[in-house]
Chains A and B, each alone.
Chain A
Amino acid sequence: MVVSRLQYIRRRLLLAVPIIFFIIVLNFLLIQIAPGDAADVLAGEAGSATPEYMDQLRRKFGLDQPIYVQLLTYVSNVATFDLGFSFRHNKPVSELILSRLGPTLLLMVSVLLISVSMGILLGAIAARYLNRWQDITISTVVVLTYATPVFWAGLMLIVLFSVKLGWFPTSGMEKIAAFHTGIARIIDIAHHMVLPVITLTLFYIALYTRLMRASVIEQNTMDYVTTARSKGLGEKRVLWGHILRNACLPVLTMAGIQAGALLGGAVVVETVFSWPGLGLLAYESLFARDLNLLLGIFFISACLVVLVNLAVDLLYASLDPRIELK
């Protein structure tokens, strides 16, 4: 069992290599379509430039090379796990990404865990009390939160809880002027996380709740449920003991797919709350035409999505023993 599982993981990872290679090449070519380059942006930000300065920049960035040479250099670098150098930030790409990966993962994992578990719970309750006031309340509220634009929800939370009530900080990951360490720092970060996590959760929770509700309703008509009921089990036992595990599967599939979207969707929340994450970095590097950095972020995101999907597939097998890993 363990051996076959390891073999499965190894095969899946090997299969991921050509996929990721294809993604790199595609990203590289797509980015070339965008007009203007990093030298334009840097000189543009400077508000002034001389031709000598622009030439210097382009030579330094390697932008004076033909595109296929740039692509070859890039791919061969990535093959040796070298993500290149961000000239804009004057730092290796891997270092930049690693420094931003932590905050993003912290935010993402919290949001994913809370919204999936809350979604499953609320969805199950809604389905249990189908068309009664519990269901109607839950369904209405989640549609409302889903329909609210994320940036607006974020800003309103800031206005209410930071500006008016003063309960939470408006933005950032830490209290800047304090430079806390140890436990105080952890508490401080948690304090800063509350609003951004709520903002994103409000959005994603709706998705999982709706999905879970539909899934439970569907499972309810299955033969095994009828069997369980005819054995004389109570409704509670049927729902939490029998239906739940089966009904969770589509929600988990969705969560796996969403993991990639979450990285992207975080841009808005990271912007509003000034959260120093990967989404914001990607957004900025696109407008700065910082191609090495942007490609690096795409690369890491692709890897993350592959890994999350693998994890979801493994989770499937443990939730539903009938599913075999091949």
Chain B
Amino acid sequence: MLAQKIQKFMSLVFTFGLVMLMTQQVSAQAVPKASPTVTPQQGGTLVMVVQPEPPTLASFLSTAGPVGQVATKVYEGLLEYDFKLTPQPGLAKSWKVSPDGKMITFKLQENVTFHDGKPFTSADVKFTVLDVLKKSHPRGINTFRALQAIDTPDQYTAVFKMSEPAPYMLMALSGYESPMLPKHIFEAGDVTKHPNADLPIGTGPFKFVEWQKGQFMRFDKNPSYWKKGRPYLDRIVARFIADGSTRAAVLETQEAHIAGFNAVLPVDVRRLEKLNHIGMTTRGYEMQSPIVELDFNTRTKPFDDVKVRQAVAYAIDRKFVVDNIWFGFGRPATGPINSNFKANGLYTADVKNYNVTNGIEMANKLLDEAGYKRGADGVRFEITHDITPYGEEWRRFGEYVAQQLGKIGIKVTLRQEDVPAWLRRVYTNYDYQLTNNWIQTLADPVIGVHRLYHSGSIRQGTVFVNGTRWSTPETDNLMNQAAVEMNSKNRAKIYHDLQKRIVDASPIVFVHELDFVTVHNKKVQNFLVSPLGLYSTFDQAWLQK
């Protein structure tokens, strides 16, 4: 990905006839462009609905969705990203990857201060990444596994030194994924129970003011923000409303301006979007890339048999699911990598296609071949299908699956539990046969996809890893290669191969790519400036008077 960016940049360099750098220097404008047509208006309070209420503001310890929506207004990352998923300058104004890929040199923005007035320097970067993210961040432990040291030759230079190339690391440096913390605050005491966890002090455009649990969080404009003239808003208030219908009502009555991540339920979106003052978008989730899927327990009968798993994959009409259960918010999935990754070439649709019109016929044939003959009552075998407890639609999806599998002679009993019980069943006790699920494939396959298929990710008791316990030496090998491959073309080729093999083995039925919806008041401008969507700082967002 970086290599691709570099290629593009180099061609630009030659176009302008500037032969000046043989190093892989990336430098870009310090600030992404604002919408050119309208002049932003200053002032106003933006009220956003965040669902559910975040458990904490410590985004360096929790990657929970709602935490990201609020903490990113306070903490920033070294990098930002554009819609092509290429890194852009953030707190780092430029960066350089060594030819062997084992060293990245970041040059930091100067004149950046934390909200308490202390300067942001390379010491903060070193502390945050090595002492916090690499040790205690749920994904950082993996992202920075290869990172061994960070040198700080001067205040504004941080040199990351790795044991092997880690191209994916550059995709994980946003303010959401890797927030930069003030060393002078967090170095004292245990960072996992630090008193400042809920009193964040960052470099971002908004300062944390207060959190009334169960009600709201308040963030006020940071007048000494390092991007001059920003932010435009005076204040951001995040409201927490437990009931879905009430969340729709506050947008309708204009008590709140914006709600993302399906805080307004799909069923209400279709009603609200008809109102004059309401807009909606499914963009801004390109670095989440969730996929709705059916997970098999591949270690027990009957789903230890690849033919049975393929039969289930054939039995699901993906378009029907998207249109009727998810109100059209999504598109059929083809494999483990979301089609958002078309943008950087990693995605391929050239895999075994289960989404065919004669799916039921194919499924029946496969089950016959697998030796599961129909009994006198037409039933081949019975299973229990677990339903992920994240909302109404999952129950309906489960009912649909039960109905489809009935057509191919699999009798299904549905089971629904609450979140902790379900997680325990699937990821600790492995006491399930088939469960529906949804997984965010995140900013890079190394971070979001490998965990689901690599044998090294079969980790009992750890949630959202390889719970199907399927793996092969060949696919492990491909993932190991992709993790260190610097050349983007080769990397894409490896991933194309990986997608084919995984889809063939069908340890998971890839049903559809879920679109999150952001519903907003049309007065809110410029909130969508990067694939990070609501996880961006909102430094450019403004309210029309």
Contact = CB atoms under 8 A, between A and B. Distances in A.
A223 interface: no
A289 interface: yes
A273 B465 CA distance: 37
Interface in B26-74: 45, 47, 52-53, 55-56, 58, 62-65
A148 B348 CA distance: 53
Contacts of B523: none
A180 interface: no
Given A40-B420, A48-B464, A171-B241, A176 B214 contact: no
B497 interface: no
A34 B421 CA distance: 7
B281 interface: no
B423 A48 contact: no
B464 A276 contact: no
B201 to A, nearest CB: 16
Contacts of B198: 90-91
Interface string B134-169: 001111011000000000000000000000000000
Contacts of B63: 46-48
A36 B427 CA distance: 10
Contact of B255 (A36, A100, A169, A272): A169
A158 B246 contact: yes
A71 interface: no
B267 interface: no
A89 B56 contact: yes
A158 B464 contact: no
Interface residues on A, range: 35 or more
Interface residues of B, number: 63
Nearest to A177: B45
A272 B425 contact: no
A42 B212 CA distance: 21
Interface string A20-46: 000000000000001111101111111
Contacts of A274: 215, 239-243, 246
Contacts of B427: 40
Contacts of B237: 176-177
A95 to B, nearest CB: 9
A276 B192 contact: no
Contact of B252 (A163, A172, A173): A163
Interface of A: 34-38, 40-54, 56, 60, 87-91, 96, 99-100, 103, 151, 155, 158-159, 162-163, 166, 169-174, 176-177, 179, 270-274, 276-277, 280-281, 284, 287-289
Given A54-B462, A173-B215, A177-B235, 6 more contacts: A48-B63, A169-B253, A171-B255, A274-B246, A280-B242, A289-B420
18 contacts: A34-B421, A37-B420, A43-B138, A47-B440, A48-B138, A49-B465, A50-B139, A53-B462, A54-B461, A89-B56, A99-B214, A100-B214, A170-B250, A272-B245, A274-B241, A276-B213, A287-B418, A288-B55
